[in-house]
Amino acid sequence: MGQSYSRSTLLRLGAIGLSVLGTLVTMPLLMRTLGEYQFGLWGMVAATTTYLLLMDFGIALACTRYLSLQSGQPQHWDEIISNSLLLSFMISALLLACALAVWLWYPAPATDAGILPAIIAIVLVEVAVSIPLRMYQSILRTEMRYVDIGLFEIIRVGLRTAGIALLLLLGAGLLTIVIASSIINVLFFVLGLLSVWFRHRRLFFLPWTLSREKSLELLQFSKFTALSQAAEFLKFRTDSILVSLLLGINAAAHYTIIVMVVMLHNQVLMRFMSYWDTLIIRQVGARNEAAAIEAVHRSLTIGMAISLLCLTGTIMIGKPFLGLWMGTEYTKLHLSLILLTLVLPGIVVQMATTPYFNAIGRQKLNSQLDITEIFFKLLLIYPLSKLAGLEGFIMAILLPAFMFSICGRLYFLRKNTTGYPAGLSKKQKQSLTLTLLISLLFLGIYFQLDSRKLAPESLSLLLSGMMAMALSVHIYKTYLR
């Protein structure tokens, strides 16, 4: 039933490659076309849109969790999927009503500022349509058909990148671009539905399997995930809104630039680590907790190795990359970019432990950790941003992430694995040590050359490429082969 981890990961990395290409092409074009102020506004809109596309109120995750726990008993799938679809239809109806209210309350935009309500209405419709379709993504994840998901992502990213670039060249406005992007995003979920239909010849929605008890059970699980998703809104992805309020629109434009780079790193992490989510839940469902914990540790080790690669590469080539990509005046953002890249280890621990906590019924703990992290971040952002500007704002992100996403989650992981090995294996520790040594070796060479003014941009790129190749071979031989 499952599909190759290495093959599916390579396909999904291909989608990232297309996404990177699209970002490299469209971001400078948007900056030059709109100007820094308008680009800052666009960054806030894009961040909010990205968040809403991830918001499903926990229904899809609840569906995936219960399907994975019953992966060996597909006869129970009808009840799980039917009740999940019922809940998703109710949420979709609410979102469509909100979209209609926004559309009626705010007439057709007469100015650029008035376009925002129309964009909000379009995004609400997109999310409303996509939420029921996400239940079929849950089936694909339960069946571990990550090759299919990787192919669908390549199609989506390819169409979106080519479409946006073409529309920009044709002089299309922001509203047209948002509509085109929404259609392509919905197509991604439709492809998942078609995959399920062609393989099973059914949609798994049977009205007579609907039950109040199962719906309440799904809601009981999803309510804590919904809290985590609400907390996600105030994490670094959408912080351009807070930056604009505290430091101004121009600072939001600068933050948008660096957060786009970190989001590309984050996408790489997600493609490597998302495979283990379903595997962890399935192992818990099969009452093989030792194997589930081993999967958590393996996910942690892979993620930490990749985040270290991203951080080292950012230190070495971040400055010339910003200069070549956005212009020499933006190389001053190099320090801010390095600091924000330090958020990746926290994301790794969160992504590795969340499926385990959810599988063992500790989703409340998971949401409490997320909310507590955001609470302390909100306490810190004002004084630190006033003290040190954009770098201070980023430190307000990093300190709570270290306390709760890393230390807090690892503490509760150990506490909830009594009787099982809670630490990394000897092989995993050796692998991480080798990864660290490779990174330090190349960083040492880079800093020695840089101190003697012998590190031109081309040499930095060469060193970074050599380091990436060495770490990629190490990661492949250790985890993917």
Enter the pTM of the model. Answer: 0.70
**Tens of pLDDT along 298-357?**
888 888 888 888 888 888 878 877 887 777 888 888 888 999 999 999 889 988 888 888
**pLDDT above 60 for 422:** no
Backbone angles phi, psi at 202, to 5 degrees: -160, 160
Assess whether 217 and 153 both reside in one domain.
Answer: yes
**pLDDT above 70 for 10:** no
Contacts with 354 (C-beta within 8 Å, 6 or more apart), sequence order: 228, 277, 366
Assess whether 32 and 130 both reside in one domain.
Answer: yes
Assess whether 73 and 177 both reside in one domain.
Answer: yes
Residue among 214, 248, 246, 187 at smallest CA distance from 82: 214
Assess whether 184 and 269 both reside in one domain.
Answer: no
Assess whether 90 and 15 both reside in one domain.
Answer: yes
**pLDDT tier for residue 232 given thresholds of 50, 70 and 90:** low
**pLDDT tier for residue 1 given thresholds of 50, 70 and 90:** very low
CA distances 108 to 43, 114, 125, 343, Å, are 22, 8, 17, 40
Question: Alpha-carbon distance 67 to 138, whole Å?
Answer: 8
Asked if the structure places residue 282 within a domain, the reply is yes
Assess whether 72 and 143 both reside in one domain.
Answer: yes
Contact 149, 137 (CB under 8 A): yes
Assess whether 364 and 460 both reside in one domain.
Answer: yes
Assess whether 192 and 289 both reside in one domain.
Answer: no
- What pLDDT shows up at residue 190? 92
Asked if the structure places residue 52 within a domain, the reply is yes
DSSP state of 112: S
**pLDDT tier for residue 110 given thresholds of 50, 70 and 90:** very low
Asked if the structure places residue 454 within a domain, the reply is yes
Question: Alpha-carbon distance 396 to 386, whole Å?
Answer: 11
Question: Alpha-carbon distance 349 to 122, whole Å?
Answer: 34
Q: Which of 188, 221, 254 is the last residue of a domain?
A: 221
**Tens of pLDDT along 161-209?**
788 778 877 877 777 877 888 888 889 889 989 998 998 888 888 888 8
- What pLDDT shows up at residue 143? 80
Assess whether 377 and 480 both reside in one domain.
Answer: yes
Lowest mean pLDDT among 50-54, 107-111, 445-449: 107-111
Domain of 144, in residue numbers: 1-221
**Tens of pLDDT along 276-298?**
777 787 777 777 778 888 888 88
Assess whether 78 and 199 both reside in one domain.
Answer: yes
Question: Per the structure block, which two tokens stand in for 378?
Answer: 């909100």
Asked if the structure places residue 91 within a domain, the reply is yes
What is the distance of C-alpha 74 from the center of its chain?
Answer: 29
Count Cα neighbours of 239 within 13 Å in the Cβ-side half-sphere.
Answer: 28
Assess whether 419 and 322 both reside in one domain.
Answer: yes
Q: What is the dihedral of CA 249, 255, 260, 265, to 10 degrees?
A: -160
| Count: domains in the chain | 2
Assess whether 245 and 211 both reside in one domain.
Answer: no
Cβ count within 10 A of residue 1: 8
**pLDDT above 60 for 111:** no
Residue type (1 letter), 463: L
Asked if the structure places residue 131 within a domain, the reply is yes
**pLDDT above 80 for 134:** yes
Question: Alpha-carbon distance 70 to 73, whole Å?
Answer: 5
